[in-house]
Amino acid sequence: MLREVRREIASLDRNLPIFRFATLEGQMGIHLLRERLLAAVSGFFGALALLLACVGLFGLMAYTVACQVHEIGVRMALGAPRGCIMWLVLRETLMLSFAGVAVGVPAALWAATYTRTLLFGVSPADPLTISVSVITLACVAIFAGYLPAYRASRVDPMVALRYE
């Protein structure tokens, strides 16, 4: 198609030079390259922050469970079912994450007023975006707290009661 366009332009004026020949889609791709790169880097760092939050919450809950082995052993010796022990740890995990959400959402809304020019097609206080973020953080919190909760529910009461 390039030859046909060059031939058509040459038929109109032979002295008209054609230097850079590109489609509109190609030109738009070049002009949007910076924005796409910024979006990819932002997405990467967002995923990295989510991973770090998951690992940090997992570490905190694993440490909390390790410190509460004696209490968990007493609860299990008194007849607490494994599901209640898991819910005890998961509830604490969710309370920590929702406390972070309660502080983070207003801070993000405040900071979004300064980054309004970087948002394309989304308002700073978009309820759908905020809802998806909160649900994603809740899922990450459940994922991070499940293994410590599972370990806590498998504690042998006799070993936990002897634990010093």
Q: What average pLDDT does the segment 53-63 reach?
A: 93
Tell me the C-alpha distance between 113 and 110, whole Å.
6
Query: How far does Cα 158 stand from its chain's mean position?
Result: 40
**Residue 69: per-residue pLDDT:** 86
What span, in angstroms and rounded, lies between the C-alpha atoms of 116 and 161?
A: 56
Q: Where are the domains of the chain?
A: 2-162
pLDDT value at residue 17: 77
- What's the pLDDT score for residue 71? 87
User: Per residue in 105-163, pLDDT tens?
Assistant: 999 889 888 877 777 777 778 888 889 999 999 999 999 999 999 998 888 888 777 76
45 burial via Cβ count (<10 Å: 0-12, 13-18, 19+): exposed
